[in-house]
Amino acid sequence: MNISTTIGNILECTADAIVLNLFEGVTEPGGATGAANRALDGLIADLIAGGDFSGKRNQTAVLYPRQGVAASRLILVGLGKREDFTPNEVRLASASATREAIKLGAKTLASIVHGGGIGGLDISDATQATVEGAILGNYKFTNYKTDDNHPKRLDTFTLVEFDTSKQTDVEKGANTGQIIAESVCFARDLSNTPGNDLPPATLADRALEMARETGLSCEIFDEQRISNEGMGALSAVGQGSARPPRFVILEHAGPDPNAAPIIFIGKGITFDTGGISLKGGDGMWNMKFDMSGSAAVIGAMRAVAKLDLPHRVIGLVAAAENMPDGRAYRPGDILHPLGTKTVEIHSTDAEGRLALIDAIAYSARYAPKAAIDLATLTGACVTALGNEASGLMGNDNDLIAQIHEAGNRTGEIAWHLPILDDHRNRIKSNVADLKNSGGRPAGALTAAAFLEAYVQNFPWAHLDIAGTASTSSTKPDTPIGATGVGVRLLIDFLRHQDE
């Protein structure tokens, strides 16, 4: 979708539809909505008085102006209560309006900047959120549709600002919002791609292509290099598949290529059958989403490069396909991961943590400022938190607080869960240093404790996105399928590092 900004009067825009807004409880519209109301002889006020539009969050109404407005359709979107208003509400409102425009068959849409006037938000932040909402609301994964009956999309989205003094900030916010939202869509496309078309080598190639386009450095370890590096856990997970594992290193040097980096680590299990500990058939098709942590890291690194953020940032992806085979690793095997601790396998379906520990241990050679891993790791986290929040665990309270705040700002909620000594004790093995499963009780926490054992003296946080990486219901900014969760959170986290 083409994104543009212009200075002018939105009532004069000749797009297929224009978007205006209203806070809940307002009876006499102000700003651009008030101007439209006057041009339409009080039609919007009549709509409110008649109880047909209240301004509740994400509510939409469509008007067909006969005078005073150049566009053939006017979409009103509710911003909700003023006291609850944030940039996150802007994003959802913009996405809701975009979806309404698509239903109407519009191809071009013009919108005011939601919240940039009487809403009281910083104009750049409001613009960023408005653009993010439009792009995310316009997202559809139709790569495998062979007919023309799939959902349509907008071609053009134009932001219209009346105040010429705000032009620079509007352009800046629009550019930032476009980069971030398109990076989320990039991550969604990766996660939505089925396992037959996205084995580990292809995932690595997609990362390499992105790196070449954005100026990131990229190094890929094949299965032999993975073995030579001593990554015995990642090697074991992938050995049952005819499509071998890959390890990807993406780097944005920033202004100081020798600075201690911030490292993002993604679980990249491109398909998970459970291996010898075979999963049940119900829902196994969803395991194409088991590489969503890696998709988030690759998408975030794309945004880091395009925004040219002033930090050294490294993205690590541990990619493998977990399949049952005569060569597959077995329950009872003892593995030698990178690092010092051996692992007894209690379940080959607890494979994601095995891939991650080699990546976490590899991180130590960079002496990172912080490391954050993202993984669709445990069903236990879904049981605990559902589908609206990711589990957040780690060894550094300051880092955890920063991630929590970034989640609140972006709407990608991350809820802190504590790793206790009991959780650490549950993963001790009688025949090796550790076992890869601590059983059902506190499964998300014992998995995090297992990862923690391979962290070597640096701040670390773990995001369990098992419940948030995909959705089975449509939301304003997310259709059914992959959500791209983590991309916006990670970028927000980075952009607040100097505060």
Residue 208 and residue 126 in one domain: no
Helix residue ranges, H only, 215-332 = 223-228, 232-238, 292-307
Q: From the centroid of its chain, how far is CA 231?
A: 28
Domain annotation covers residue 177: no
Question: pLDDT value at position 118?
Answer: 82
Domain annotation covers residue 52: yes
CB 65 within 8 A of CB 108: no
Residue 310 sits in a domain whose CATH number is 3.40.630.10
List the chain residues with pLDDT less than 50: none
Question: pLDDT value at position 339?
Answer: 82
Question: pLDDT value at position 176?
Answer: 99
Domain annotation covers residue 170: no
Domain annotation covers residue 297: yes
Residue 142 and residue 264 in one domain: no
Domain annotation covers residue 100: yes
Report how many helices (DSSP H) and strands (DSSP E) the chain contains, helices first.
Answer: 15, 19
Of 189, 447, 229, which Cα lies nearest the Cα of 336?
A: 229
Could you please report the per-residue DSSP string of 376-400?
Answer: ---HHHHHHHTTS-EEEEES-HHHH
Give the domain-ending residue among 111, 146, 162. 162
Residue 263 and residue 410 in one domain: yes
Domain annotation covers residue 204: yes
Residue 239 and residue 198 in one domain: yes
Could you please report the per-residue DSSP string of 258-292?
Answer: TSPPEEEEEEEEEEE--TTSPPPSTTGGGGGGGGH
**What is the Cα–Cα distance from 461 to 455, expressed in whole angstroms?**
10
Question: pLDDT value at position 499?
Answer: 63
CB 154 within 8 A of CB 111: no
Angle between helices 292-307 and 167-192 (to 10 degrees): 150
Question: pLDDT value at position 498?
Answer: 75
Q: Identify the active-site residue in 279, 428, 475, 495.
A: 279
Residue 248 and residue 128 in one domain: no
Residue 210 and residue 118 in one domain: no
**What is the Cα–Cα distance from 46 to 375, expressed in whole angstroms?**
50
Residue 156 and residue 253 in one domain: no
Residue 221 and residue 313 in one domain: yes
Residue 95 and residue 213 in one domain: no
Domain annotation covers residue 387: yes
Angle between helices 487-495 and 397-410 (to 10 degrees): 120
Give the domain-ending residue among 146, 162, 178. 162
Respond yes or no: is residue 353 known to be catalytic: yes
According to DSSP, the β-strands at 313-322 and 246-252 are antiparallel
> Which domain, by its residues, includes 108?
2-162
Question: pLDDT value at position 352?
Answer: 98
Residue 146 sits in a domain whose CATH number is 3.40.220.10
Domain annotation covers residue 96: yes
Tally of structural domains, the chain = 2
Specify the pTM: 0.97
Joined tokens for residue 117 = 């006037």
**At a CB cut-off of 8 Å and minimum separation 6, what does 244 contact?**
200, 201, 222, 223, 238
Residue 199 and residue 339 in one domain: yes
Which tens digits make up the pLDDT trace of 282-303?
889 999 999 999 999 999 999 9
Residue 150 and residue 212 in one domain: no
Residue 156 and residue 289 in one domain: no
Respond yes or no: is residue 279 known to be catalytic: yes
Q: From residue 247, how far is each of 266, 319, 324, 383 by CA, in Å? A: 10, 6, 21, 30
Joined tokens for residue 206 = 């997609």
Of 493, 346, 340, which Cα lies nearest the Cα of 412?
A: 493
Q: Identify the active-site residue in 188, 267, 288, 353.
A: 353
